[in-house]
């Protein structure tokens, strides 16, 4: 017998069921509240509201826990690969050797995109923001694969759509970069692993043969694993609500890319580097910038700090911080802004304002330092986040569709004018 919660209002009492998750999270199921009482709930930014139930990713914000399908992120980052994690998120289990070989082979062999994509790309000014180009290229997949729009597509057809976008996203991302810098495009190679192929498409130039450094491709693979999913964050919720109208996978992912773009979300990894560079150019006075971050009248926020769910260390930030040290040492790169970042973290973790609000470094605080060391330009950082998050978006869209969830349509509290008569122009 499921537990019930009582809500009393206006001299009446109402009962709603309590839903308990597998990690003992408790939630009030208020789906019957309005029909019982006429009441709705209001929760700006859904800070206390669950939009769905999901078996994909588990976060414990108080204890800094992150697991994909039950596997701790620390173990996956250390022992798995991005392609294997993508399979795990999308299909729910770690693949067998045969399953992984087929999954990876399908991805390697489908990286090519229609030659007409060169014409689509050429329509964008080189100064276009890569995230805007990327979301357009993804939406364009519906033009080349119109059957992906079928809301009643067979599971085999959905899998074909999934494999195609997983395989082509690295090509889109690399071509977006090459178009921006005015360099010739590189074709994907089925003879390289996922990260090596992406790096080759990004950095190979005519007349030279770009050699992929295993340190670089391994670091990139780890970063993509760490970004692969994160339950109902802003962009994933956007993917789910777009898909809930029977929107296709490609249009839902494109919507997610645009939500991720915002500086409060995935765009923060770019904003962190810009912030650290400003602090460096300003003489490295971290106290001045901390004071700005705490000043309510100053719009400046410490980018890469704070999180809606984590009220302890973001476990991904811990892993990335260590990886940043390792990669810079292995590549023989020293980056002065890493020391500024560490200094800022040190001061913030001992500052009452940050301690009181439980503001810790999040996934975006150190990731940009590694991307820089890998030679990836700042304006491509959020594209890298999207590349990593793609399997999570796919898994969440697929789960929402398989669970036949209703179209997302929140309620509101109206605060506008009460009824009033139309006023003719000469009376206004």
Across the beta sheet with 57-60, the strand order is 57-60, 65-68, 71-72
Residue nearest to ligand SDX (CB): 306
User: In angstroms, what is the minimal distance from the CB of 160 to ligand SDX?
Assistant: 27
Site for ligand SDX in 294-313 (CB under 6 A): 301-309
CA distance 206 to 388: 28
CA distance 246 to 237: 15
Site for ligand SDX in 266-295 (CB under 6 A): 268, 293
Binding letters toward ligand SDX, positions 19-48, x by CB under 6 A: --------------------------x---
DSSP 361: B
Site for ligand SDX in 399-418 (CB under 6 A): none
Which residue lies nearer to ligand SDX by CB, 113 or 380?
380
Q: Taken in order 78, 81, 87, 89, is the CA torsion positive or negative?
A: positive
CA nearest to 328, candidates 375, 284, 267: 375
Which residues contact residue 45 at a Cβ distance below 8 angstroms, ignoring those fewer than 6 apart? 308
Tell me if residue 364 is catalytic. Answer: yes
Interface residue with ligand SDX among 178, 179, 240, 265 (CB under 6 A) is 265
359 in contact with ligand SDX (CB under 6 A): yes
User: In angstroms, what is the minimal distance from the CB of 276 to ligand SDX?
Assistant: 13
Interface residue with ligand SDX among 158, 363, 386, 390 (CB under 6 A) is 363
Instruction: Count other C-beta atoms under 10 Å from residue 306's C-beta.
Output: 22
User: In angstroms, what is the minimal distance from the CB of 363 to ligand SDX?
Assistant: 5
Residue 331, burial from CB neighbour count under 10 angstroms (0-12, 13-18, 19+)? middle
User: In angstroms, what is the minimal distance from the CB of 17 to ligand SDX?
Assistant: 27
| DSSP letters spanning 373-413 | HTT--GGGHHHHHHHHHHHHHHHHHHHHHHTTPPPP-----
Interface residue with ligand SDX among 13, 62, 357, 403 (CB under 6 A) is 357
Task: Name the segment binding ligand SDX (CB under 6 A); options: 182-190, 273-281, 323-331, 362-370.
Answer: 362-370
355 in contact with ligand SDX (CB under 6 A): no
Task: Name the segment binding ligand SDX (CB under 6 A); options: 140-148, 248-256, 355-363, 415-423.
Answer: 355-363
Maximum Cα–Cα distance across the chain = 80
Site for ligand SDX in 144-203 (CB under 6 A): none
Task: Name the segment binding ligand SDX (CB under 6 A); options: 31-39, 161-169, 238-246, 361-369.
Answer: 361-369
Tokens in use for 151?
Answer: 């809301």
264 in contact with ligand SDX (CB under 6 A): yes
DSSP 4: E
Which residue lies nearer to ligand SDX by CB, 18 or 264?
264
User: In angstroms, what is the minimal distance from the CB of 140 to ligand SDX?
Assistant: 25
Which residues contact residue 388 at a Cβ distance below 8 angstroms, ignoring those fewer than 6 apart? 82, 223, 224, 225, 226, 227, 228
Site for ligand SDX in 213-242 (CB under 6 A): 230, 233
User: How far from each other are the two terminal CA atoms of the chain, in whole angstroms?
Assistant: 62
Tokens in use for 108?
Answer: 């390697």
Set 229, 265, 307, 314: catalytic member: 307
User: In angstroms, what is the minimal distance from the CB of 294 to ligand SDX?
Assistant: 7
Which residue lies nearer to ligand SDX by CB, 158 or 270?
270
CA distance 364 to 307: 10
User: In angstroms, what is the minimal distance from the CB of 101 to ligand SDX?
Assistant: 30
Instruction: Count other C-beta atoms under 10 Å from residue 129's C-beta.
Output: 17
Q: Report the Cα 238 to chain-centroid distance in Å.
A: 11
Which residue lies nearer to ligand SDX by CB, 264 or 329?
264
Catalytic residue ranges: 307, 364
Site residues (vs ligand SDX, CB under 6 A): 45, 230, 233, 264-265, 268, 293, 301-309, 357, 359, 362-364
């Amino acid at each position: 017998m499921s537990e019930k919660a009582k809500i009393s209002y206006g001299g009446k009492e109402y009962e709603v069921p309590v839903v308990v998750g597998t990690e003992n999270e408790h939630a009030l199921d208020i789906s019957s509240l309005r029909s019982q009482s006429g009441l709705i709930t209001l929760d700006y930014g859904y800070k206390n509201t669950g939009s769905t139930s999901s078996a994909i990713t588990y976060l414990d914000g108080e204890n800094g826990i992150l697991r994909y399908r039950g596997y701790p992120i620390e173990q996956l980052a250390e022992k798995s690969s991005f392609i294997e994690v993508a399979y795990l998120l999308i299909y729910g289990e770690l693949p067998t050797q045969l399953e992984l070989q087929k999954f990876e082979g399908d991805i390697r062999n489908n990286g090519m995109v229609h030659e007409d994509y060169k014409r689509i790309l050429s329509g964008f000014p080189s100064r276009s923001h890569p995230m805007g180009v990327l979301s357009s290229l993804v939406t364009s997949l519906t033009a080349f694969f119109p059957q992906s729009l079928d809301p009643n597509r067979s599971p085999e057809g959905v899998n074909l759509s999934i494999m195609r976008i997983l395989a082509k996203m690295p090509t889109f991302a690399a071509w977006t970069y090459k178009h921006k810098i005015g360099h010739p495009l590189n074709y994907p190679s089925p003879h390289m692993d996922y990260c090596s192929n992406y790096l080759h498409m990004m950095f190979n130039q005519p007349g030279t043969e770009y050699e992929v450094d295993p340190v670089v491709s391994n670091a990139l693979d780890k970063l993509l694993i760490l970004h692969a999913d994160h339950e109902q964050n802003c962009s994933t919720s956007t993917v789910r609500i777009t898909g809930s109208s029977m929107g296709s996978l490609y249009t839902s992912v494109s919507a997610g890319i645009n939500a991720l773009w915002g500086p409060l979300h995935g765009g923060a990894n770019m904003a962190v580097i810009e912030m650290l560079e400003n602090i460096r150019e300003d003489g490295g006075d971290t106290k001045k910038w901390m004071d700005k971050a705490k000043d309510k009248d100053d719009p400046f926020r410490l980018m890469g700090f704070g999180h809606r769910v984590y009220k302890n260390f973001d476990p991904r930030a811990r892993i990335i911080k260590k990886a940043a040290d390792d990669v810079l040492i292995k590549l023989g790169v020293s980056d002065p802004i890493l020391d500024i970042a560490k200094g800022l973290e040190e001061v913030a973790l001992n500052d009452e304002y940050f301690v009181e609000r439980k503001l810790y470094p999040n996934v975006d605080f150190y990731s940009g330092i590694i991307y820089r060391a890998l030679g990836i330009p700042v304006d491509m950082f959020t594209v890298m986040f999207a590349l990593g998050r793609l399997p999570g978006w796919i898994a969440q869209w697929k789960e929402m569709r398989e669970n036949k969830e209703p179209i997302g349509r929140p309620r509101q509290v109206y605060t506008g004018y009460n009824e009033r008569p139309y006023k003719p122009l000469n009376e206004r």
